[in-house]
Chain A
Amino acid sequence: MKKIFPLVVLLIITACSSGDDTPTPNNGNGGSGIAFDRAAMLTNLADNIIIPSYQALNTNLNALVTSKDNFIATPNQANLDNVRAAWLTAYKSWQRVEAFNIGLAEQTAYYFQMNTYPVNTTDVENNIASGSYDLTHPNNNDAVGFPALDYMLYGLDAIDASIVAKYDTDAQAADYKSYLSDLINQMQSLTQDILNDWTNNYRNTFVASTANTATGAANMFINDYIFYYEKGLRANKIGIPAGNFSATPLPDRVEAYYNQEVSKELALEALDAVIDIFNGTKFNGTTAGESFKTYLISLNRSDLATSIINQLNAARGRIQELNANFTTQINTDNTKMTLAYDALQTAVVLLKVDMLQAFDISVDYQDADGD
């Protein structure tokens, strides 16, 4: 399928060009001659969606730092509950930035350090035991971030009192406290850096980079968006645990596995973010600006814009039917999981083939061919 796609594009481009008597420069408007204001789209994305989303995440991570400080000063159930609540709030706001793997985030492999799951609990425990670790090292990607916190806050024991004891009376309590603290501080610090780079530096570069080239920010951002939808959302949250890429389902691969209550909530938040980006809807608001949707409409493809929105909403409906804990869903009725996956997959084709074709943008990523 992947290999056929470029040929199809080529044929269509050829067909368009041959029917077009007046040669026009390739301005990324699909040859329709209608100018779409890519700068306005990038500005809306940066100012109304990306930067406010990072600000919210940063605020929520600062709150997580505070609640964590209280918990390690006074380890008890109430303070653990506070850290857990702050973790969930921050984790939900993370779902609104994971798609933005561009700029400093891309350079620092930020999202690998924030949400690589499943967490490798052996690595986590080894780090705690040794007390010597470089949290930024790629070997630790699966021992840091929200999934590591999921383990540290919910997975250390089946009984809450025993989890509190790990940070209180356990012989290694000081080491557990240090690791919990280092993890959260690191997440906040990484996020602060990304936010600062956006506000002080990258925002202007991003907004000005409108060219329809492989290195133009608009093209890269659209690719990042689709890649996130395909990998971070469709595959990681639903497809992999449902067993769509393995011989049997892998119910322990769900997001927030140890929490056991929020994998659906996180997936819905992620899909809402995808829908809001597509529509250009302001962060935490209802009004919308220039977006992929208006870009399609300017190219006389409101039909495709409608199809995409309808399909994303259909997928949302499928996810809403699932158990709050995907592990439970997979173990009781995995068909509902695969139905949700199928609904998500249908939109991949609309985004990755039809929308990119309309925008005249090439896919800049490919599936690794293994060895």
Chain B
Amino acid sequence: MKKIILGVIAVTSFMYTSCSSDDGNAPLDMNQVIAPATYEFSRNGATTVDYNGQTTRIQMGEELISALLDPTQSEAAIDGMFAHVEGENNFSNADLNASNKSIRSKTAASTDYFSANTTDANAIRADFDGWIANQVAMVYPSWNNTATAGNAGNLQELGGGAVRYVNGKGLEYNQAVNKSLIGALMVDQMLNNYLSTSVLDAGNNRADNDADILAEAKNYTNMEHKWDEAFGYLYGTDNATSPLLNEDSFLNKYLSRVENDTDFQGIASEIYEAFKLGRAAIVAKNYEVRDQQAEIIREKISEIIGIRAVYYLQQAKNFLATDKAAAFHDLSEGYGFIYSLQFTRKPGTNAPYFTKTEVDAFIAQLMEGNGFWDVTTETLDAISDEISAEFNFTTAQAGS
């Protein structure tokens, strides 16, 4: 089945290319660029694709979110996973301990959005620090208490279902961290850093790529590598040549979820295709085609965030009256996706679909008073509709 789909993608790509060549917009000659069937690129018989740093950060993220559900962990231990320093034993995986990568240093750290906005970047990182601190200081001591409005503790879903651990407002901090990281790390780095001309064309990147000058001791040009790093934030733990999806707890997983909604079926192949064609365009030194693919990826990846934000607010409505644990779980995931909206990227602009100020206002509405304990379906619908209105989908399409 997957093989057939990929075959179709290849054909679609070819058709797209030939169609475009018919329109009169010279001098763009897209015939030069034909995406390969899979994300495989080589030079002198060896692969030029490398995104191990992204894979490492995704794996660090997995350990981080697991630790946030382990009440034996200290704040310092979890902080160590978030802001790892090379050589420290923060993780169970020795390779991660040896790595010089850290999640925190790449959180809200894109060139386009944050290089000249360290104030917001610091505030965003402080949010993550605060969620971690509160999980340890407020939720872990209440682990065996039943949560009530204003008091942290646990809540079990109906019918002996999953147990959720929430703060006094009903928020699961682990979900806030997990889902907000999708925006602040994966989406921000991908859309506002590695796919940006400011990064792809930084320094001598374009001249070097034109002249096939490779990065020092590497088999790739710097520009090729930047594009691969964007790719790695989505597919870093997946199979690059035949993505399975749902292979991590972050962006890869939620692309799978959106793809499995019939309203959005096809989005996964659109994104994969754009990554392949853009990378092929770099090899072909056709930067116009490259940047067009970057715009497609920005739109589609941003949609994933918007769709899931609306989805969870709408799902929560079904349980708000009868099953607090299920509703709060949905709302906690929605909280993170709403937070992530500030890292999305409107195609053709240098701006997100929702600014930090707008996102903070949504969050304030959700957290008002006793938070999820007294949020109304009217509020959830109002926020859902405001989000949907900025995207090419309806609340109904995203909500089911």
User: Which A residues fall within an 8 A CB radius of B?
Assistant: 3, 6-7, 107, 109, 112, 116-118, 120, 137-139, 141-142, 369, 371
15 contacts between A and B (CB under 8 A): A6-B262, A109-B322, A116-B159, A117-B160, A118-B160, A138-B156, A138-B323, A138-B325, A139-B146, A141-B156, A141-B160, A142-B160, A369-B257, A371-B253, A371-B333
Contact assessment for A139 and B262 in the assembled complex, using a CB-CB cutoff below 8 Å:
no
Given the interface contacts A138-B323, A139-B154, does A120 sit within 8 Å of B260 by beta carbon?
no
Give the Cβ gap from B328 to chain A, nearest Cβ, in Å.
11
Instruction: Kindly state whether residue B75 has any CB partner on chain A within 8 Å.
Output: no
Instruction: Kindly state whether residue B157 has any CB partner on chain A within 8 Å.
Output: yes
Instruction: Choose among B154, B161, B260 the residue with the greatest number of A CB atoms under 10 Å from its CB.
Output: B161
Contact assessment for A138 and B157 in the assembled complex, using a CB-CB cutoff below 8 Å:
yes
Instruction: Kindly state whether residue B345 has any CB partner on chain A within 8 Å.
Output: no
Contact assessment for B253 and A141 in the assembled complex, using a CB-CB cutoff below 8 Å:
no
Q: For A369, what are the chain B residues with a Cβ–Cβ distance below 8 Å?
A: 257, 260
- CB-based closest 10 A-B pairs: A142-B160, A112-B159, A116-B160, A139-B156, A112-B158, A116-B159, A138-B158, A141-B160, A109-B158, A3-B262
Tell me the nearest residue of chain A to B325, going by C-beta.
A138
Measured in the bound complex, the distance between the Cα atoms of B262 and A116 in whole Å is 33
Contact assessment for B158 and A120 in the assembled complex, using a CB-CB cutoff below 8 Å:
no
Residues of B239-289 at the interface with A, using a CB-CB cut-off of 8 Å, are 249, 253, 257, 260, 262, 265
Apart from the given pairs A139-B155, A371-B253, 16 other A-B contacts in the complex at a CB distance below 8 Å: A107-B322, A112-B159, A112-B160, A116-B159, A117-B160, A118-B160, A138-B156, A138-B157, A138-B325, A139-B156, A141-B158, A141-B159, A141-B160, A141-B161, A142-B159, A371-B333
Q: For B322, what are the chain A residues with a Cβ–Cβ distance below 8 Å?
A: 107, 109
Give the Cβ gap from B100 to chain A, nearest Cβ, in Å.
31
Instruction: Kindly state whether residue B324 has any CB partner on chain A within 8 Å.
Output: yes
Q: For A139, what are the chain B residues with a Cβ–Cβ distance below 8 Å?
A: 146, 154-156, 163
Measured in the bound complex, the distance between the Cα atoms of B400 and A369 in whole Å is 11
Q: For B146, what are the chain A residues with a Cβ–Cβ distance below 8 Å?
A: 137, 139
Give the Cβ gap from A295 to chain B, nearest Cβ, in Å.
28
B155 contacts which of A3, A112, A116, A138 (Cβ < 8 Å)?
Answer: A138
Q: For A371, what are the chain B residues with a Cβ–Cβ distance below 8 Å?
A: 249, 253, 333
Q: For A118, what are the chain B residues with a Cβ–Cβ distance below 8 Å?
A: 160
A3 contacts which of B163, B260, B324, B333 (Cβ < 8 Å)?
Answer: B260
Instruction: Choose among A3, A107, A116, A371 the residue with the greatest number of B CB atoms under 10 Å from its CB.
Output: A371
Q: For A3, what are the chain B residues with a Cβ–Cβ distance below 8 Å?
A: 260, 262, 265
Measured in the bound complex, the distance between the Cα atoms of B325 and A63 in whole Å is 35
Q: For A6, what are the chain B residues with a Cβ–Cβ distance below 8 Å?
A: 262
Residues of B330-354 at the interface with A, using a CB-CB cut-off of 8 Å, are 333
Q: For A7, what are the chain B residues with a Cβ–Cβ distance below 8 Å?
A: 262
Measured in the bound complex, the distance between the Cα atoms of B388 and A230 in whole Å is 35
Tell me the nearest residue of chain B to A143, going by C-beta.
B160
Given the interface contacts A6-B262, A137-B146, A139-B154, does A109 sit within 8 Å of B160 by beta carbon?
no
Q: For B161, what are the chain A residues with a Cβ–Cβ distance below 8 Å?
A: 141
Give the Cβ gap from A189 to chain B, nearest Cβ, in Å.
19
Tell me the nearest residue of chain B to A144, going by C-beta.
B160
Instruction: Choose among B158, B163, B323, B324 the residue with the greatest number of A CB atoms under 10 Å from its CB.
Output: B158
Give the Cβ gap from B375 to chain A, nearest Cβ, in Å.
18
Q: For B253, what are the chain A residues with a Cβ–Cβ distance below 8 Å?
A: 371
Contact assessment for B260 and A142 in the assembled complex, using a CB-CB cutoff below 8 Å:
no
Measured in the bound complex, the distance between the Cα atoms of B324 and A352 in whole Å is 29
Q: For A107, what are the chain B residues with a Cβ–Cβ distance below 8 Å?
A: 322
Give the Cβ gap from A147 to chain B, nearest Cβ, in Å.
9
Instruction: Choose among B146, B158, B159, B253 the residue with the greatest number of A CB atoms under 10 Å from its CB.
Output: B159
Instruction: Choose among A116, A139, A141 the residue with the greatest number of B CB atoms under 10 Å from its CB.
Output: A139
Measured in the bound complex, the distance between the Cα atoms of B260 and A137 in whole Å is 34
Tell me the nearest residue of chain A to B265, going by C-beta.
A3
Give the Cβ gap from B151 to chain A, nearest Cβ, in Å.
14
Measured in the bound complex, the distance between the Cα atoms of B156 and A120 in whole Å is 12
Give the Cβ gap from B148 to chain A, nearest Cβ, in Å.
10
Give the Cβ gap from A162 to chain B, nearest Cβ, in Å.
27
Measured in the bound complex, the distance between the Cα atoms of B323 and A116 in whole Å is 15
Give the Cβ gap from A279 to chain B, nearest Cβ, in Å.
29
Residues of B13-59 at the interface with A, using a CB-CB cut-off of 8 Å, are none
Given the interface contacts A3-B260, A107-B322, does A142 sit within 8 Å of B156 by beta carbon?
yes
Instruction: Choose among A107, A120, A369 the residue with the greatest number of B CB atoms under 10 Å from its CB.
Output: A369
Tell me the nearest residue of chain A to B253, going by C-beta.
A371
Tell me the nearest residue of chain A to B257, going by C-beta.
A369
Q: For A138, what are the chain B residues with a Cβ–Cβ distance below 8 Å?
A: 155-158, 323-325
Give the Cβ gap from A353 to chain B, nearest Cβ, in Å.
16
Q: For B156, what are the chain A residues with a Cβ–Cβ distance below 8 Å?
A: 138-139, 141-142
Tell me the nearest residue of chain A to B323, going by C-beta.
A138
Give the Cβ gap from B190 to chain A, nearest Cβ, in Å.
21
Tell me the nearest residue of chain B to A4, going by C-beta.
B262
Tell me the nearest residue of chain A to B156, going by C-beta.
A139
Tell me the nearest residue of chain B to A134, going by C-beta.
B146
Measured in the bound complex, the distance between the Cα atoms of B390 and A365 in whole Å is 29
Give the Cβ gap from B380 to chain A, nearest Cβ, in Å.
19
Tell me the nearest residue of chain B to A115, going by C-beta.
B159
Measured in the bound complex, the distance between the Cα atoms of B161 and A138 in whole Å is 9
Residues of B161-191 at the interface with A, using a CB-CB cut-off of 8 Å, are 161, 163
Q: For B160, what are the chain A residues with a Cβ–Cβ distance below 8 Å?
A: 112, 116-118, 120, 141-142
Give the Cβ gap from B278 to chain A, nearest Cβ, in Å.
29
Measured in the bound complex, the distance between the Cα atoms of B325 and A141 in whole Å is 12
Give the Cβ gap from B68 to chain A, nearest Cβ, in Å.
14
Tell me the nearest residue of chain B to A370, going by C-beta.
B257
Measured in the bound complex, the distance between the Cα atoms of B10 and A248 in whole Å is 40
Tell me the nearest residue of chain A to B262, going by C-beta.
A3
Measured in the bound complex, the distance between the Cα atoms of B156 and A257 in whole Å is 22
Give the Cβ gap from B9 to chain A, nearest Cβ, in Å.
19
Measured in the bound complex, the distance between the Cα atoms of B322 and A7 in whole Å is 32
Measured in the bound complex, the distance between the Cα atoms of B224 and A72 in whole Å is 78
Instruction: Choose among A6, A138, A141, A369 the residue with the greatest number of B CB atoms under 10 Å from its CB.
Output: A138
Q: For B157, what are the chain A residues with a Cβ–Cβ distance below 8 Å?
A: 138
Tell me the nearest residue of chain B to A117, going by C-beta.
B160
Q: For A120, what are the chain B residues with a Cβ–Cβ distance below 8 Å?
A: 160
